[in-house]
C-alpha cells in the first residue's frame, strides 16, 4: 500500500464505473433467482428462528420459570438480549444520519445496509420487552390506552420510557430508510419488466420521476429526517440505560450509564455492520463499492468507541471507590473478582483489549483479522450487558438473598432464535431491496460531482 | 255477480282459464306442487336420512358442543345456598373452635379457624396455659395433612377396597381366634397423651386378655425420664421455670428449637430478653457438639461433643462443690465427682468456662442446667445432681410436670415382641397410628417378623412403611375430624373436637377399637367415641371439679375453652444420691461421634408428606427438602469433602451415605444427622426425601439410642445437591466477611454496653438522618399508618411465623428443584448471618419481609402501576394489573418480592396440590396467585380490612392494636409487634422510638416501616468479638 495523500479525499468507490454498471451491479441480486447458497443460508437462519420459537412456546406455555431467572436475578437473558439488540441497531442510524450531517461521503456504500440492520435489530430487540413479562397476553397494559378502569400507565417507570423510546426510534428509522429508498425503487421500476415487480416498485416509488423538483424535495426531506434521527441515536440507548441508572441497585445506579451505553451501542453496532458487510461484499462482488478504505474507517470508529467503553469501565471502578459507598464498591470488586469474574474478564478482553489492535493499519485493513475482532467485540458487548444485569442483581444489598444465576437451555434457544430472526430478515432484505443506495452511489462516482482538482 | 251457469262445479275463484274450466292438465299441475325438474333433485330417497328437525337438532347440539368446548368455564361443582342456615355459620365470617394439637406429644391448645365449615388456619389457644396462643410451624402446617390428596379414603384389605363392616368382622374373628388359640394380640402405638385413648386401650386389653400394648416413637424423652426415675423415683419430670432463671446452661439441648415444650420454653426464655424496661437479661450458655437453634441464641457457646457431656457436668459439679452444696453429699459421691476435672475440657474455651463457673456460683438457685433428650440417662442424672448441688431445684415446676400415660416400651420389650412374632406367637398385630417399620432400628428385624403374623391391621391416615406390610389398612380421621383429649402436663386437661365431618370414609381410631371391643361389627356408630369420651370426661374431670353447673353445661364450656385446669398436687421429690454410685466410670471414647436429632420440621417423619414443612428452611443451615451430615469445616477439610459431597458414615457395621453440609461451629469430632427423613412409603411428597438415619441406630446401643461413638467416615464419590435458601459462604472468605455488620443490616451490642450508653445507636442514626434529603415533598400520613417492629433479642428463628404466613396467605409449595433455583415463595424469610471464625461463629438471625417503605423503590419502576401505596402506608400489590416485568423485584433492596415463575400449584409434583381437596385449605380472603404475577408480604391486609369493617360496623375508630398479623399472632416469643405508628401509645410506636431501634439499609432513604430492635448479647464485655 502506497503512502496516502491526506490532502485529498479518498475516492468513495474504487475503480471507474459507469452509472449503468453501478446500477447493474447493485440491482443484480434482485434480478436473478436466488441460488443454492441463499437457500442454505436461509434454512440455517430459519432453523435458528424455529429453535427460538420453540423456546418461546415453552415459555408461553409454562412460564418464565423455563428460564434461569431466580429471585435476586429477576432479569437475565431477556433484558441482556434486549439491550444487546438495541445496541446493534445503533450503527445504522448513526451512519446514515449523523455521518450524513457531517458530510462523510464514505458512508455511501454502507448506509443502506446499516439502516436495514437497524430496523431488523430494533425489531428483534422489541420482542424481548414483550416476551419477558410473566403474562405476555397482558402486555398491552404497557401502552397508554383509554380503558374503562381509567388506569393509566406509570409514567415514572423507565420501562415505560423504553416503550416510547424504542417505538419512536423504530418509526423514525423506518421512515428515514424508506425515504432513502424511493429513488432506488424508481430505478428498479424502470429496470424491471416483470409485471408484479413493476407494480410493486411503482407503488413504493410514489411516482418518482427523477425530476429536478423531486430531487430537491428529496434532499430536503432527507436532511430533515437526518436531523430528526440524530438525537434519537443518542436518546434511545440513553433511555435504555435509564432502566438501570434510575434504579437503586449498586452497579446500576450510576450517572455514567447514558454516554457509556451510547458509546457501547455504536461500538457493537459497527462491529455487527462490519461483520455482515464483509460477507455481503464478497458474495455480491461489492468490493469496489464497500471498499477496504470504508472498512478501515469503520474499524477506526470501533477503536474510538471501544476505547470510550474501556474508559467507562475504568471510570465506574474509580467512582465506586471514590464515592465511598460500601455496597457500590463491593459490587465492582465482585464483578472483577466474584463468582462472575469469568464473564467480566471475557468482556474486558473482547471490548477493551481486542479493538486496540486496530491501532495497527495493517490489521485495520486485513479482512480476516478485523472480522474476528468484530466478532469478539459483539461477544464482549453481549457479556457487558450480562455483567451489568446479572452480577449486580445476584449480589446486592443483603447477603442473605444472594444467589448465583445459571441460564437454561431455553434461554440459549431464545438467544439463538433472536439471531435467527435477525438474519432471516437480513437475508430476505438482500433479495428484496438494493442493499446499497444506487442513487447515492451514482452520486459519488468519479466525475459525478463538480470538482476543482484539474483546474 | 252471477256465477256462470254451465259450471256448477266451477270455482268462484280461479287463477286461469284452464283452472276455471277444470282442465285436467291444470288439476294434475295443482297436485304436483313442484314441477318436474324441480322435484327430481329433492327426491327424498336420494337425500340423506336426516330430517329437517334432526338436522336442526344436530346443528344446535353441535353449536352447543362447540360453544362449551371453546369456553374456559370450568365446572366448579354445585354451589347451593343454605336452605336452612346452620345457626353458627355466617358466610364470610370465620368460626373458631378450641381443640388440641396432635402434632407432637406436647398437646398444645389450638384454635382452629373455619370458614363455611372448612378449617383454614390453626392458631394457638390463648387460654391454654402452656402455649398461650402460640403454635409452632408443625402445628400450623398440620392443616395441610387434612387436605392431603394421598390420605386414605377407604378401608383396604390386601390392596383391595373393603367395607368397614367386612374389615371389622374379619378382624374381630381374628381377635377371637387369637384369643382362643392363646396367641398374643399386640397393639403397637405411638405416644399416647390422651387419657381416654388409654382407657380404650385398657378396655381392649380387658376384653382380649392376650393383648399387650407397646408404645414406641422414634423421637422420645425416655433417657430423661429414666434419669429422672433413677434420681427421683418417678418418670414424671417437672417443667423448668426458664422465666426465672438468670443463668441457663443447655447441654446439647435444643429447648428453644424443637425439644420438649419448646413453645413454652421460648416464651419463658424471651421474657428475660425484654429491652423495654431495664433490660434484665438472662444469660444462655450452650454446650453442644452440633449447631442447634438454641446454640444460635447462646451468649456463650462451648463446643463439647455429646459423649463428653457427662464428664463436663460432673467436672462442673466438682468445681462448684468447692463453694458448698445445697444437698449433703456423702464421701462416696464426692469420690466419684472428684475423678473429673474441668481441665480436660479446656479446649472448649478456658475463659468461657471460667465465666460459666462464676455465673453458676453466683446464681445458685437462680440458674438451671438442662440436658438434651438425646443424651444418655447418666448425663441426666448428673445434671439432676448438679442442679441439686446448686439449689436450682427451686426452678423446677412440679405443678405442670410432664405426664406419662403409657410408658415407652423398652428395647427389650420390643425385642420380645419381635421374637414372639417370629415364632408365630402373635395372632393379631395392630399398628395404632404408628409406624414401627420406619421408627425401629433395623436390627430388630421387625419388618421381617411381620411376615409371620397372620393378621396385621394398621390404623393410619396414609399408607406408611408399616401399613403396606400388613393385610388391613384402616383409614383413621385426621385430628381435625376427631374427638379427643389430652393430659400431657400436670393439671392441664385439654379437649379435642372435630371441626369438619370426616372428608372420606374414615373413622376415629378409638372408635374402631371400641367396635372391636364390642365384638360386633354393627355396633359402630358415628358418636361411639364421642359418647365414650363424654362419659370418661364426666368420670375423670367433672367429678373431680367441684362446679355448680351440671355435667352437660360443664362439658360444653370445657369444649368451648378447650382446656380445663385441674388441681394437681405439686409434689417435690427427693434426690436419690446413691444412684450416682451405680454409674460406673463414664468416660468418652475418642474418635468420631454420630449424633442423631429430630428433624426440625418433619419431626419423626410424621410430616414427611407435608410440602409446607419440607420446604421450610432449616433454622441453622437454611436447607430445605433434605437432611445431611453436618460436619465442621475442619473435618470437611480433613476428609477433602465440601458441601453436597457424599460421605459414608459407619457405626458398628451400619453404614449411611449422605451429603455433607459444612456447618460452622460444629465440634470437629461430631457428625450430626437429623432423623425423620428417607421415608420410603410416605406419599409423593415425602417419599425419598433425604436419607434415613434410623439405619444407623441399633437396638444394642452402648451410649444412647441417638449417639454413637467410634464412628468412621469415608469420602464417597458423588454429590447430592442440597437446596438451600441462602448461599453458603465460607466464613473465612474475607471477600464477603461480616457484611451484615459492615452494612448495618444487623445491629448488635452487649448488655453491658447498653447499660453504660443506652443511646449508642442513636448518635449514628442521627448522623444518617441528617444526610438523607428527599428532593420531593414527602407524603403525609395523617390517619392510621401501619408499621411493624421486630425484636431481634427475642427471635429464635423457629420459623413459626413463616409457616403461619404460608397458611394465611395461600403460599404455594414450589419443590426442591425450584428452591435450588432460588424461587421459593415464602413471603417471610429468616436470614442467618455468621461472624467470628468458622470454629466459633457468632450467629445473627433476622426475619426479613416486605418493609413497606414510604419511598418504596419498587413502586416507581412498575410500568403498569401494579404496585403502589395505600393511604395507610401499605405497599400494595394489584395482582390482576401485574404483567410480571420483575422490575420491582430487581429494584427491591431487601429482595422480599416473590415471583410466580410458574403456576406453582400446577408445576409442583405434577400438580399434586392442585385438586379439589387441597384447594379447600386456601384462605378465601386471599387471592390465589397464578403464574407471571409478583407477590409479597401484605402486612395481612385482609386482617386489616376485617378489623376496619368491624370498627365501621361497631361505629368505632379503627384501633391499630386490633390488627394482628399472622406472623405476629404465632410468634412464640412475641418478637413481632404490629400496629399504628401514628398512635403514640401503641406498642409499635414505642418500639419505633426505642433507643435500640433501627432500620435496615436506612441510608437508602427508602424509609422502611419495619423497625428492628438491635440485639444485645449478655456477655461479660462491651464488645462482641
At B661, list the grid cell.
Answer: 453440609
Instruction: Tell me the shortest Cα–Cα distance from A178 to chain B, in angstroms.
Output: 32
| Kind and range of the H or E run holding A380 | helix A367-386
Residue B956 φ then ψ, to 5°: -115, 170
At A251, list the grid cell.
Answer: 452497579
Task: Give just the sign of the alpha carbon dihedral B199, B202, B208, B213.
Answer: positive
At B734, list the grid cell.
Answer: 474475607
Residue A124 CA, distance from chain mean position: 10
DSSP labels, A255-306? TTHHHHHHHHHHHHHHHHHHHHHHHHHHHTT-TTTS-HHHHHHHHHHHHHHH
Q: What pLDDT, in 10s, does the model give residues B641-687?
A: 999 999 999 998 899 999 999 999 999 999 999 999 999 999 899 99
Cα B109 to Cα B131: distance, rounded to the nearest angstrom: 7
The residue in chain A having the minimum alpha-carbon distance to the alpha carbon of residue B859 is A157
Residues of chain B with pLDDT > 70, as a percent, come to 94
Instruction: Tell me the shortest Cα–Cα distance from B721 to chain A, in angstroms.
Output: 14
Q: How far is CA B406 from CA A33, A64, A113, A294, B840, in A?
A: 93, 54, 88, 94, 42
Residues shown for chain A = 455
Residue A160 CA, distance from chain mean position: 21
Instruction: Tell me the shortest Cα–Cα distance from A202 to chain B, in angstroms.
Output: 43
The residue in chain A having the minimum alpha-carbon distance to the alpha carbon of residue B847 is A400
Cα B627 to Cα B594: distance, rounded to the nearest angstrom: 14
Q: What pLDDT, in 10s, does the model give residues B412-457?
A: 999 999 999 999 899 999 999 999 999 999 989 999 999 989 899 9
Contacts with A273 (C-beta within 8 Å, 6 or more apart), sequence order: A91, A92, A95, A110, A113, A114, A117, A298
Please, which pLDDT band fits residue B1003 given cuts at 50, 70 and 90?
confident
Pick A393's closest partner by Cβ from B846, B890, B934: B890
Q: How far is CA B962 from CA B87, B786, B871, B945, in A?
A: 26, 12, 18, 11
- Inter-chain contact A151–B818, Cβ cutoff 8 Å? no
Q: Is B926 on the interface with A (CB under 8 A)?
A: no
Residue B712 φ then ψ, to 5°: -125, 150
Nearest to B997 by CA among B770, B765, B701, B800: B765
At B494, list the grid cell.
Answer: 385439654
Query: What b/e sequence results for B976-1014 when a residue is b if at least 16 CB atoms lie within 10 Å of its CB, and e otherwise?
Result: bbbbbbbbeebbbbbbbebbbbbbbbbbbbbbbbbbbbb
At A89, list the grid cell.
Answer: 441497531
Nearest to B920 by CA among B149, B78, B120: B120
Q: Is B403 on the interface with A (CB under 8 A)?
A: no
Assign residue B408 a region (left: φ > 0; alpha: ψ between -120 and 50; beta: otherwise). beta
- Residues in chain A closer than 8 A to B72 (CB atoms): none
- Residues in chain B closer than 8 A to A327 (CB atoms): 743
Cell 365414650, residue? Answer: B532
Cα B764 to Cα B754: distance, rounded to the nearest angstrom: 15
Q: What pLDDT, in 10s, does the model give residues A145-189?
A: 888 878 889 999 999 998 899 999 999 999 999 999 999 999 999
- Inter-chain contact B832–A327, Cβ cutoff 8 Å? no
Residues shown for chain B = 1025
Contacts with A91 (C-beta within 8 Å, 6 or more apart), sequence order: A114, A117, A118, A266, A268, A269, A270, A272, A273
Cα A146 to Cα B797: distance, rounded to the nearest angstrom: 49
Q: What is the dihedral of CA B663, B667, B670, B671, to 10 degrees?
A: 0
Please, which pLDDT band fits residue B4 given cuts at 50, 70 and 90?
very low
Q: Which of the residue ranges A435-449, B295-309, B610-624 would you say has the lowest mean pLDDT?
A: A435-449
What letter would DSSP give residue B290?
A: S
- Inter-chain contact A134–B824, Cβ cutoff 8 Å? no
Residues paired with residue B402 on neighbouring β-strands, in sequence order: B489
Cα B244 to Cα B366: distance, rounded to the nearest angstrom: 7
Q: pLDDT value at position A451?
A: 63
Q: What pLDDT, in 10s, does the model give residues B253-263?
A: 999 999 999 99
Percent helix, strand and coil across chain B, each to the nearest 5: 35, 20, 45
Cell 390392596, residue? Answer: B159
- Inter-chain contact B829–A134, Cβ cutoff 8 Å? no
DSSP labels, B601-669? SSTTTTTTT-HHHHTSPPTTT-EES---EEE-HHHHHHTT--TTEEEEEEETTEEEEEEEEE-TT--TT
How does the average pLDDT of chain B come out, rounded? 89
Q: pLDDT value at position B866?
A: 93
Query: Is residue A341 a contact partner of residue A393, using CB atoms and an 8 Å limit?
Result: no
Contacts with B508 (C-beta within 8 Å, 6 or more apart), sequence order: B476, B477, B481, B482, B483, B528, B529
Provide mean pLDDT across the span B880-908.
93
Given a cut of 90, whether residue A8 has pLDDT beyond it is no
- Inter-chain contact B1004–A248, Cβ cutoff 8 Å? yes
Q: What pLDDT, in 10s, does the model give residues A193-245?
A: 889 999 999 999 998 998 999 999 999 999 999 998 889 888 899 999 999 99
What letter would DSSP give residue B730?
A: -
- Inter-chain contact A141–B864, Cβ cutoff 8 Å? yes
Q: What pLDDT, in 10s, does the model give residues A186-197?
A: 999 988 888 999
| Kind and range of the H or E run holding B749 | strand B748-750
What ipTM was predicted for this assembly? 0.92
- Inter-chain contact B886–A75, Cβ cutoff 8 Å? yes
Question: Rg for chain B (alpha carbons), in Å?
Answer: 35
Burial status of residue A382 (CB atoms within 10 A of its CB: 0-12, 13-18, 19 or more): buried
Cα A212 to Cα A225: distance, rounded to the nearest angstrom: 20
Single pTM value for the model: 0.88
Cα B456 to Cα B212: distance, rounded to the nearest angstrom: 14
Cα B53 to Cα A70: distance, rounded to the nearest angstrom: 60
Please write down the HEC assignment for all residues of A38-55: HHHHHHHHHHHHHHHHHH
- Residues in chain B closer than 8 A to A72 (CB atoms): 822, 895
Given a cut of 50, whether residue B2 has pLDDT beyond it is no
Contacts with B986 (C-beta within 8 Å, 6 or more apart), sequence order: B960, B961, B979, B980
Strands B629-631 vs B184-189: parallel, antiparallel or unpaired: unpaired
Burial status of residue A449 (CB atoms within 10 A of its CB: 0-12, 13-18, 19 or more): exposed
Cα A52 to Cα A408: distance, rounded to the nearest angstrom: 13
Q: Which of the residue ranges A22-26, A113-117, B472-476 would you say has the lowest mean pLDDT?
A: A22-26
Pick B863's closest partner by Cβ from A65, A135, A153: A153
What letter would DSSP give residue B711?
A: E
Q: pLDDT value at position B71?
A: 59
Burial status of residue B35 (CB atoms within 10 A of its CB: 0-12, 13-18, 19 or more): exposed
- Residues in chain B closer than 8 A to A138 (CB atoms): 883
Assign residue A411 a region (left: φ > 0; alpha: ψ between -120 and 50; beta: otherwise). alpha
Amino acid at each position: 500500500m502506497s503512502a496516502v495523500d491526506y490532502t485529498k479525499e479518498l475516492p468513495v468507490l474504487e475503480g471507474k464505473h459507469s452509472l449503468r454498471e453501478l446500477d447493474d451491479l447493485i440491482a443484480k441480486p434482485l434480478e436473478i433467482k436466488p441460488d443454492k447458497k441463499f437457500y442454505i443460508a436461509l434454512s440455517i437462519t430459519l432453523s435458528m428462528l424455529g429453535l427460538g420459537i420453540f423456546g418461546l412456546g415453552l415459555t408461553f406455555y409454562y412460564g418464565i420459570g423455563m428460564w434461569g431467572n431466580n429471585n435476586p436475578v429477576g432479569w437475565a437473558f431477556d433484558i441482556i438480549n434486549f439491550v444487546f439488540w438495541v445496541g446493534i441497531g445503533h450503527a445504522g442510524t448513526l451512519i446514515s444520519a449523523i455521518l450524513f450531517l457531517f458530510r462523510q461521503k464514505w458512508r455511501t456504500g454502507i448506509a443502506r445496509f446499516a439502516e436495514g440492520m437497524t430496523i431488523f435489530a430494533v425489531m428483534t430487540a422489541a420482542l424481548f420487552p414483550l416476551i419477558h413479562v410473566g403474562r405476555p397476553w397482558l402486555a398491552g397494559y404497557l401502552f397508554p390506552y383509554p380503558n374503562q378502569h381509567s388506569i393509566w400507565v406509570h409514567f415514572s417507570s423507565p420501562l415505560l420510557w423504553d416503550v416510547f423510546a424504542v417505538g419512536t426510534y423504530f418509526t423514525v428509522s423506518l421512515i428515514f430508510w424508506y425515504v432513502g429508498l424511493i429513488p432506488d425503487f424508481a430505478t428498479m421500476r424502470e429496470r424491471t419488466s416483470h409485471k408484479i415487480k413493476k407494480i410493486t416498485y411503482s407503488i413504493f416509488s410514489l411516482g418518482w420521476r427523477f425530476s429536478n423538483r423531486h430531487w430537491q424535495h428529496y434532499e430536503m426531506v432527507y436532511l430533515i429526517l437526518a436531523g430528526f434521527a440524530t438525537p434519537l441515536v443518542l436518546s434511545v440507548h440513553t433511555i435504555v440505560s435509564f432502566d438501570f441508572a434510575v434504579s437503586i441497585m449498586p452497579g446500576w445506579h450510576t450517572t455514567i450509564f447514558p454516554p457509556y451505553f451510547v458509546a457501547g451501542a455504536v461500538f457493537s453496532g459497527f462491529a455487527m455492520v462490519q461483520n455482515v458487510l464483509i460477507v455481503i461484499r464478497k458474495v455480491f462482488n461489492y468490493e469496489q463499492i464497500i471498499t477496504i478504505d470504508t472498512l478501515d474507517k469503520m474499524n477506526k470508529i470501533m477503536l474510538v468507541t471501544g476505547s470510550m467503553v474501556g474508559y467507562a469501565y475504568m471510570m465506574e471502578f474509580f467512582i465506586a471507590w471514590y464515592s465511598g459507598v460500601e455496597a457500590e464498591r463491593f459490587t465492582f470488586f465482585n464483578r472483577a473478582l466474584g463468582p462472575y469474574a469469568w464473564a467480566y474478564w471475557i468482556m474486558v478482553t473482547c471490548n477493551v483489549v481486542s479493538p486496540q489492535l486496530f491501532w495497527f493499519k495493517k490489521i485495520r485493513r486485513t479482512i480476516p483479522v478485523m472480522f474476528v475482532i468484530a466478532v469478539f467485540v459483539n461477544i464482549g458487548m453481549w457479556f457487558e450487558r450480562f455483567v451489568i444485569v446479572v452480577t449486580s442483581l445476584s449480589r446486592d444489598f443483603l447477603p442473605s438473598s444472594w444467589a448465583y444465576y445459571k441460564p437454561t437451555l431455553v434461554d440459549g434457544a431464545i438467544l439463538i432464535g433472536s439471531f435467527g430472526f435477525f438474519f432471516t430478515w437480513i437475508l430476505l432484505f438482500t433479495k428484496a431491496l438494493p442493499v446499497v443506495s444506487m442513487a447515492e452511489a451514482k452520486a459519488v462516482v468519479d466525475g459525478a460531482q463538480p470538482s476543482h482538482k484539474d483546474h | 255477480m252471477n256465477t256462470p251457469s254451465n259450471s256448477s262445479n266451477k270455482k268462484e275463484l280461479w287463477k286461469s282459464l284452464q283452472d276455471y274450466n277444470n282442465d285436467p292438465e291444470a288439476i294434475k299441475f295443482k297436485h304436483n306442487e313442484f314441477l318436474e325438474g324441480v322435484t327430481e333433485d329433492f327426491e327424498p330417497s336420494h337425500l340423506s336420512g336426516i330430517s329437517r328437525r334432526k338436522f336442526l337438532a344436530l346443528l344446535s347440539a353441535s353449536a352447543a358442543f362447540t360453544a362449551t368446548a371453546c369456553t374456559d368455564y370450568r365446572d366448579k361443582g354445585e354451589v347451593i345456598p343454605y336452605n336452612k342456615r346452620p345457626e353458627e355459620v355466617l358466610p364470610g365470617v370465620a368460626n373458631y373452635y378450641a381443640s388440641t394439637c396432635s402434632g407432637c406429644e406436647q398437646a398444645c391448645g389450638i384454635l382452629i379457624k373455619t370458614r363455611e365449615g372448612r378449617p383454614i388456619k390453626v392458631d394457638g389457644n390463648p387460654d391454654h396455659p402452656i402455649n398461650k396462643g402460640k403454635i409452632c410451624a408443625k402445628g400450623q402446617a398440620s392443616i395441610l395433612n387434612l387436605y392431603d390428596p394421598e390420605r386414605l379414603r377407604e378401608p383396604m384389605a390386601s390392596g383391595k377396597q373393603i367395607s368397614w363392616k367386612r374389615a371389622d368382622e374379619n378382624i374381630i374373628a381374628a381377635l377371637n381366634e387369637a384369643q382362643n388359640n392363646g396367641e398374643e394380640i399386640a397393639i403397637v402405638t405411638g405416644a399416647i397423651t390422651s387419657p381416654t385413648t388409654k382407657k380404650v386401650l385398657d378396655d381392649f386389653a380387658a376384653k382380649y386378655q392376650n393383648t399387650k400394648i407397646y408404645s414406641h416413637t422414634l423421637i422420645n424423652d425416655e433417657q430423661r425420664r429414666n434419669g429422672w426415675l433413677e434420681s427421683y423415683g418417678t418418670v414424671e419430670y417437672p417443667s423448668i421455670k426458664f422465666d426465672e432463671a438468670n443463668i441457663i446452661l443447655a447441654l446439647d439441648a435444643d429447648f428453644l428449637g424443637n425439644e420438649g415444650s419448646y413453645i413454652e420454653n421460648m416464651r419463658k426464655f424471651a421474657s428475660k430478653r425484654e429491652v423495654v424496661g431495664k433490660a434484665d437479661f438472662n444469660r444462655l450458655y450452650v454446650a453442644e457438639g452440633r449447631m442447634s437453634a438454641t446454640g444460635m441464641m447462646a451468649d456463650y457457646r462451648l463446643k463439647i461433643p455429646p459423649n463428653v457431656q457427662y464428664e463436663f457436668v460432673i467436672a462442673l459439679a466438682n468445681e462448684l462443690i468447692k463453694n458448698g452444696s445445697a444437698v449433703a453429699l456423702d464421701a462416696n459421691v464426692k469420690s466419684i465427682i472428684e475423678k473429673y476435672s474441668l481441665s480436660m475440657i479446656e479446649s472448649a474455651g478456658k475463659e468461657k468456662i471460667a465465666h460459666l463457673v462464676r455465673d453458676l456460683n453466683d446464681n445458685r438457685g437462680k440458674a438451671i442446667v438442662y440436658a438434651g433428650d438425646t443424651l444418655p440417662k447418666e448425663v441426666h442424672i448428673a445434671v439432676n445432681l448438679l442442679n441439686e448441688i446448686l439449689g436450682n431445684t427451686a426452678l423446677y415446676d412440679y405443678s405442670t410436670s410432664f405426664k406419662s400415660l403409657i410408658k415407652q416400651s423398652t428395647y427389650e420389650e420390643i425385642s420380645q415382641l419381635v421374637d414372639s412374632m417370629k415364632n408365630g406367637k402373635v395372632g393379631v398385630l395392630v399398628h395404632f397410628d404408628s409406624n414401627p417399620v420406619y421408627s425401629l432400628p433395623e436390627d430388630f428385624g421387625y419388618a421381617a417378623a411381620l411376615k409371620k403374623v397372620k393378621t396385621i391391621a394398621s390404623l393410619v391416615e396414609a399408607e406408611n412403611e408399616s401399613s403396606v406390610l400388613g393385610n388391613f389398612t384402616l383409614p383413621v380421621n385426621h385430628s381435625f375430624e376427631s374427638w379427643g383429649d389430652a393430659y400431657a402436663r400436670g393439671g392441664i386437661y385439654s379437649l379435642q373436637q372435630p371441626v369438619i365431618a370426616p372428608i372420606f370414609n374414615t373413622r376415629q381410631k378409638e372408635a374402631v377399637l371400641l367396635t372391636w371391643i364390642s365384638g360386633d361389627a354393627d355396633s359402630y356408630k358415628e358418636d361411639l367415641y364421642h359418647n365414650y369420651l363424654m362419659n370418661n370426661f364426666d368420670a375423670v374431670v367433672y367429678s373431680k371439679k367441684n362446679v355448680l353447673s351440671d355435667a352437660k353445661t360443664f362439658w360444653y364450656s370445657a369444649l368451648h375453652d378447650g382446656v380445663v385446669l385441674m388441681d394437681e398436687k405439686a409434689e417435690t421429690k427427693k434426690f436419690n444420691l446413691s444412684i450416682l454410685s451405680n454409674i460406673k466410670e463414664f468416660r468418652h471414647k475418642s474418635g468420631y461421634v454420630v449424633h442423631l436429632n429430630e428433624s426440625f420440621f418433619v419431626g419423626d417423619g410424621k410430616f414427611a408428606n407435608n410440602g409446607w414443612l419440607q420446604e421450610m428452611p432449616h433454622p441453622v443451615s437454611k436447607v430445605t427438602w433434605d437432611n445431611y451430615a453436618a460436619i465442621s469445616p475442619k473435618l470437611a477439610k480433613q476428609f477433602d469433602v465440601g458441601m453436597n459431597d457424599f460421605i459414608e458414615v459407619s457405626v458398628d457395621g451400619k453404614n449411611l451415605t449422605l451429603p455433607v453440609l459444612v456447618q460452622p461451629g460444629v465440634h470437629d469430632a461430631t457428625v450430626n444427622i437429623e432423623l425423620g427423613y428417607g421415608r420410603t412409603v410416605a406419599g409423593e411428597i415425602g417419599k425419598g426425601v433425604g436419607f434415613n438415619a434410623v439405619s444407623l441406630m441399633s437396638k444394642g446401643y452402648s451410649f444412647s439410642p441417638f449417639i454413637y461413638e467410634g464412628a468412621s467416615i469415608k469420602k464417597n464419590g458423588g454429590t447430592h445437591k442440597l437446596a438451600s435458601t441462602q448461599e453458603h459462604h465460607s466464613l473465612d472468605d474475607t471477600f464477603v466477611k461480616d457484611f451484615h455488620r459492615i452494612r448495618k443490616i444487623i445491629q448488635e451490642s452487649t448488655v453491658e454496653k447498653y447499660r453504660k450508653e443506652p443511646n449508642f445507636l442513636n448518635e449514628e442514626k442521627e448522623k444518617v438522618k441528617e444526610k438523607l434529603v428527599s428532593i420531593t415533598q414527602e407524603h403525609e400520613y395523617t390517619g392510621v399508618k401501619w408499621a411493624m417492629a421486630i425484636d431481634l433479642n427475642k427471635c429464635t428463628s423457629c420459623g413459626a411465623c413463616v409457616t403461619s404466613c404460608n397458611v394465611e396467605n395461600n403460599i404455594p409449595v414450589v419443590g426442591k428443584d425450584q428452591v435450588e433455583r432460588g424461587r421459593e415463595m415464602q413471603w417471610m424469610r429468616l436470614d442467618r448471618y455468621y461472624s467470628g471464625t468458622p470454629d466459633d461463629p457468632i450467629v445473627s438471625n433476622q426475619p426479613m419481609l416486605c418493609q413497606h417503605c414510604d419511598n418504596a423503590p419498587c413502586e416507581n419502576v412498575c410500568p403498569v402501576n401494579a404496585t403502589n401505596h395505600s393511604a395507610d402506608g401499605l405497599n400494595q400489590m394489584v395482582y390482576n394489573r401485574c404483567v410480571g416485568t420483575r422490575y420491582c423485584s430487581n429494584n427491591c433492596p431487601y429482595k422480599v418480592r416473590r415471583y410466580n415463575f410458574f403456576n406453582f400449584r400446577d408445576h409442583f409434583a405434577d400438580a399434586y396440590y392442585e385438586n379439589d381437596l387441597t384447594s379447600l385449605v386456601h384462605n378465601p380472603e386471599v387471592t390465589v396467585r397464578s403464574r407471571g404475577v409478583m407477590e409479597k408480604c401484605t402486612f395481612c391486609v385482609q386482617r386489616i380490612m376485617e378489623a376496619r369493617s368491624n370498627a365501621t360496623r361497631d361505629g368505632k375508630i379503627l384501633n391499630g392494636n386490633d390488627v394482628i398479623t399472622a406472623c405476629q399472632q404465632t410468634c412464640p416469643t412475641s418478637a413481632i409487634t404490629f400496629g399504628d405508628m401514628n398512635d403514640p401509645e401503641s406498642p409499635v410506636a414505642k418500639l419505633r422510638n426505642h433507643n435500640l431501634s433501627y432500620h435496615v439499609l436506612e441510608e437508602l432513604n427508602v424509609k422502611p416501616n419495619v423497625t428492628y430492635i438491635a440485639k444485645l448479647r449478655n456477655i461479660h464485655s462491651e464488645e462482641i468479638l
